[in-house]
Amino acid sequence: MKMSDRLQKAPLSGIRKMFDLAGSGSINLSLGEPDVSPPDEAVRGMSEAAAKGLNRYGPTPGIMPLREAVAYRYKRHGIESGNVMITPSGTTALLMIAQSLIDPGDEALVPSPGFVVYGPHTALSSGRPIDYKLTDDGFQPDIDDIQRKITKRTKVVFLNYPSNPTGGILSEESFKAIRDISADKNIIIVSDEVYEPFVYEGEHISFMGELDNAIVVNGFSKMMAITGWRMGFVTAGKDVITDLTKMAYHVCASPNMPAQYGILSAMPAIDTYLDGVRRTYKRRRDLITSRISNIDGMDMDAPKGAFYAFPKFGYDMTSEELAMRLVKNGLICVPGSAFGQYGEGHLRFSYAADEDKISRGMDILEKVANGIKG
């Protein structure tokens, strides 16, 4: 059966590739998912909803009490329930947005290194992804590079802060520059903020308040450690939410009902839960940063957000070769090249793993790195 050219050209994520090559007993620092437990209220709330019979289709943009709870959490940005749509995952939200905004031949500016779906989602929507660079200093969007790459067909700029894979957070200066470009050139900002709860220094700057020119994707996967539930949300202007709801109807009719009730039960105490999770991740971040910074030929600053370390290395090999060498020695990570052309020369380690695992992983990294030098 011949699939569309669009689908045939779409790459599979390179993130799982190393995982598939690893031996059993390897230390896995490749996966971007929380290893902590979800809030008890969420699990209980979902089971109770299913047991009570809340198992049917629901409203396409999500149940109103959950839209209201999300709006309440972000009310400082001027968000109301009509600005919120609940989605079956952040990934689905991103694809629905690409499908809704992009016409054939439209261009979307995509961060590189960056999360792996923005380019393929653009191409699957018959658009052209154009990579833009991040700066060496703090992984900010390189505004000159973006300006150079804007054409009459540029429709969208994707941003992702706190960032996967770099761990960078958005500076006030970058925020303003992107906002100005969007207003001047009529380019829609699609801001993926799924790591918003995980900032260890400074503050997360959100595009949520920019209702006229930004669509924000966020989600419950990372926030509540429920990656398998597949639940996310979008905030945007009310007209945009109405349009996206039309797309959502054709994609899924409605998001998972019991999961929405579970998430709703966990919303009132979510900040207390997240305070604990952030403390845990911060300890692990400090550990991995100090271990990597002490390795000759590896260089990184402490990541300010998300749960990834993205060191640069100075060895004469590609990131894939280095990652392969680590896999053979029992440590799984992701080569920077899996995150786009400008990710080469880096490795990505997830520190959503316990401290013992991180320490043993770093022992392997140190041994392999010392072997290369010598």
Ligand X SMILES: Cc1ncc(COP(=O)(O)O)c(C=O)c1O
Give the footprint of ligand X on this chain (CB under 6 A).
32, 89-91, 115, 160, 164, 192, 194, 219, 221, 227, 232
CB 233, min distance to ligand X, A = 9
Rank residues 16 and 325 by Cβ distance to ligand X and give the closer one.
16
CB 15, min distance to ligand X, A = 9
How would you write 15-82 as a 3-class SS string?
HHHHHHHCCCCCEECCCCCCCCCCCHHHHHHHHHHHHCCCCCCCCCCCCHHHHHHHHHHCHHHCCCHH
CB 232, min distance to ligand X, A = 4
Rank residues 220 and 313 by Cβ distance to ligand X and give the closer one.
220
Rank residues 49 and 159 by Cβ distance to ligand X and give the closer one.
159
Rank residues 30 and 83 by Cβ distance to ligand X and give the closer one.
30
CB 166, min distance to ligand X, A = 11
Cβ atoms of 168 and 303 closer than 8 Å: yes
Cβ atoms of 202 and 158 closer than 8 Å: no
CB 282, min distance to ligand X, A = 19
CB 334, min distance to ligand X, A = 11
Alpha-carbon distance of 36 to 58, in angstroms, equals: 29
Q: H/E element holding 228?
A: none
Q: Which tokens sit at 176?
A: 């303003």
Rank residues 160 and 265 by Cβ distance to ligand X and give the closer one.
160
CB 195, min distance to ligand X, A = 6
C-alpha distances out from residue 179 to 111, 307, 313, Å:
16, 26, 33
Q: H/E element holding 279?
A: helix 270-293
Q: Which tokens sit at 98?
A: 């690409």
Query: Which residues on neighbouring strands pair with residue 131, listed in sequence order?
Result: 110
Closest by CA to 133, choosing from 321, 288, 345, is 345
CB 12, min distance to ligand X, A = 15
Alpha-carbon distance of 273 to 100, in angstroms, equals: 35
Q: Region of 25 please: left (phi>0), alpha (psi -120 to 50) or beta.
A: left
By Cβ distance, which residue is nearest to ligand X?
Answer: 90
Rank residues 83 and 160 by Cβ distance to ligand X and give the closer one.
160
179, HSE (Cβ side, Cα atoms, 13 Å)? 15
Closest by CA to 247, choosing from 98, 80, 78, 135, is 98
Read off φ and ψ for residue 342, nearest 5 degrees. Answer: -90, 10
Q: Which tokens sit at 118?
A: 């923005």
CB 269, min distance to ligand X, A = 21
Rank residues 131 and 192 by Cβ distance to ligand X and give the closer one.
192
CB 92, min distance to ligand X, A = 7
Rank residues 170 and 369 by Cβ distance to ligand X and give the closer one.
170
Rank residues 233 and 273 by Cβ distance to ligand X and give the closer one.
233
Rank residues 175 and 233 by Cβ distance to ligand X and give the closer one.
233
Task: Please state at what angle helix 319-328 crosses helix 355-373, rounded to 10 degrees.
Answer: 120
Cβ atoms of 87 and 276 closer than 8 Å: no
